[in-house]
Chain A
Amino acid sequence: MTFTWATWLILCIPFPLLIVLSLINCLYQRRKDKE
């Protein structure tokens, strides 16, 4: 037995996605600041 598929989705998608979005925002802002 393991987590249900819905629990896996919550564990694996939104949390890492927030880190990736923060990274993208950081790179975008740095580029904008240089310009």
Chain B
Amino acid sequence: MVHAVHSKEILTIFVFYIVIIFCVGFVALFKTKDLSDYILGGRKLPAPIVGLGAGASDMSGWLLMALPGAIFVNGANYLWLPLGLSIGAFLNWLLVARRLRRFTEISNDSLTIPSYFDARFQDRKKILRMVTAVVVLVFFTFYASAGFVAGGILSESLFHTSYFTGLCISTAIIVGYTCIGGFLAISWIDFFQGSLMLVALVAVPVVTIFHIGGWQPFMHHLSANGHSYLNAFHGISAMGIFSLLAWGLGYFGQPHILVRFMAAKSPKVIPSAQVICVTWMILALYGAVFTGLSGNAFFHHLEKPESVFIELAMVVFNPWIAGFLIAAVLSAIMSAVSAQLLASSSALTEDLYRIINPSHRLRYKQIVRIARLSLLLIAVIAFWLASRPDGTVLKLVSYAWAGLGASFGPLVLLSIYWKNMTRDSALIGMLVGAITVIVWEILDKHFGGFFHLYSMIPGFFLNVVAVLLVGKYQGNRTIPEIAEKLF
């Protein structure tokens, strides 16, 4: 357990850290002049902010809690998950980022993924846009609630507050600064938070291995778990490996990551941002893997394996430095949840409210006020879900990741490479992807066996098949002006 004697130092660092974050929020508030600024930072972000922001908002608290915990317990056979994620993120940057940045600007300067689909497929009835927004809202509300729960647990284990008090504090902080500063604030803060997370994830395992006595003693301690602990192929089936690798497919359909590409100041900065993000991500994943392994060598057994990073930071570092390192956990939770909340509020404002009420000619201040109210509304629902945790937080994250990836991934990919893709094929593909994930998870719960396969795999591929089949059935329906402008 974390020593209560260190709580004061950690609390001081946390308060200092939160004050800085709110200062950044207020600076961003003065720089936010219209809805494009609030939702997309006015499309003027440089490569480092885009790259680190995409990485930090993607890697939620699980990078510092769940992944080291899983490696701590399972050993090397969990390496397939970081491998799948790295490949997925790399391909997302390579195949999607540059084109999506260009396409969204040409397509009526779309600010959100639903509005991009709307412009790309010239959907006059706005059905595709509204259905997309609803799917975004459903999955992101669950996603954000999982982040709130992680914040509550962090406060509970560090400061010995009740879970509910911790939940209230973490929710108030995250919602507060996202509401104030919008996209500009979270982009700047993500840059800072991403740097902090990387330093923490490199420092903790390196210092722990030194603490143990170097590489050989570290390996010697690990081998006490048996040879299979250090074997990536032991204790895992082929289906298990595919399921872990399949997490990478989710990247193509995560709106809170895709908006980072759209916010780049030009398509030309994307390759540099890719180098920054991929390098950051791989170093951070190495750090998380070795945090789990070095934690196992150091402690051998922990009551809560997910707190291995926190426990190590407390034991091997001075409490003040440990405070900064543990602030990285808070950073990871905050950057992911704030990005998800903002993407949800954009969907509610841009893609539902403004479409349902087209006659409302609103001024900028009114629109941003509606965006902030939407954010509050989603946060209240997520808070309500988080206030009754039933031990399925990580399951919810995997569910939301699969739902978003399987619903939007194939649509994003095909819409930027296949000019004959139609609105109907996109709509049917999205529904097939979302419904497959929901049904598959129910089947897994009741029957297990083959249905243990990660729902992302059937959802993603059935979505692709549906889009291709409907597209083929409808024949060549290329929209000349779109084909001319985009391809």
Contact = CB atoms under 8 A, between A and B. Distances in A.
Interface stretch (B36-44, B83-91, B178-186): B83-91
Interface of B: 76, 79-80, 82-83, 86-87, 90, 93-94, 98, 219-220, 222-223, 227, 230-233, 268, 270-272, 274-275, 278-279, 282, 285-286
Given A7-B76, A18-B86, A23 B275 contact: yes
Given A19-B279, A22-B279, A6 B231 contact: yes
Nearest to A27: B271
B232 A7 contact: yes
A13 to B, nearest CB: 10
B249 to A, nearest CB: 16
A1 B227 contact: yes
13 contacts: A1-B222, A2-B219, A10-B76, A10-B80, A15-B286, A18-B90, A18-B278, A19-B275, A19-B278, A19-B282, A29-B98, A29-B268, A30-B271
Contacts of A29: 98, 268, 270-271
- Kindly name the residue among B80, B274, B285 whose own CB sees the greatest number of chain A CB atoms within 10 A: B274
B63 to A, nearest CB: 15
A7 B410 CA distance: 31
Given A1-B230, A3-B230, A19-B282, A26 B274 contact: yes
- Kindly name the residue among B220, B231, B271, B282 whose own CB sees the greatest number of chain A CB atoms within 10 A: B271
A22 B278 contact: yes
Closest 8 CB pairs of A and B: A1-B223, A26-B271, A29-B271, A7-B232, A22-B278, A4-B231, A7-B76, A3-B230
A6 B233 contact: yes
A33 B268 contact: yes
Given A4-B76, A29-B268, 10 more contacts: A1-B220, A4-B232, A6-B232, A7-B231, A15-B285, A15-B286, A19-B275, A19-B282, A22-B90, A29-B270
Contacts of B83: 10, 14-15
A6 B241 CA distance: 14
Contact of B90 (A2, A10, A21): A21
B230 A4 contact: yes
A2 B304 CA distance: 26
A10 B278 CA distance: 17
B85 to A, nearest CB: 11
- Kindly name the residue among B83, B230, B278 whose own CB sees the greatest number of chain A CB atoms within 10 A: B278
Contacts of A19: 275, 278-279, 282
Interface size class of A (residues with CB under 8 A): 20 to 34
A28 B220 CA distance: 44
- Kindly name the residue among A19, A22, A29 whose own CB sees the greatest number of chain B CB atoms within 10 A: A22
B275 A26 contact: yes
Contacts of B270: 29
Contacts of B285: 15
A22 B222 CA distance: 33
Contact of A25 (B76, B274, B279, B286): B274
A25 to B, nearest CB: 6
Contacts of B86: 14-15, 18
A7 B271 contact: no
Given A1-B219, A18-B278, A25-B274, A10 B93 contact: no
B251 to A, nearest CB: 13
Nearest to B278: A22
Contacts of B87: 14, 18
Contacts of A14: 83, 86-87
Contact of A26 (B222, B230, B231, B272): B272
Nearest to B90: A18
Contact of A3 (B76, B274, B279, B282): B76
Contacts of A1: 219-220, 222-223, 227, 230
Contacts of B286: 15
A22 B274 contact: yes
B230 A22 contact: no
Contacts of A10: 76, 79-80, 83, 232
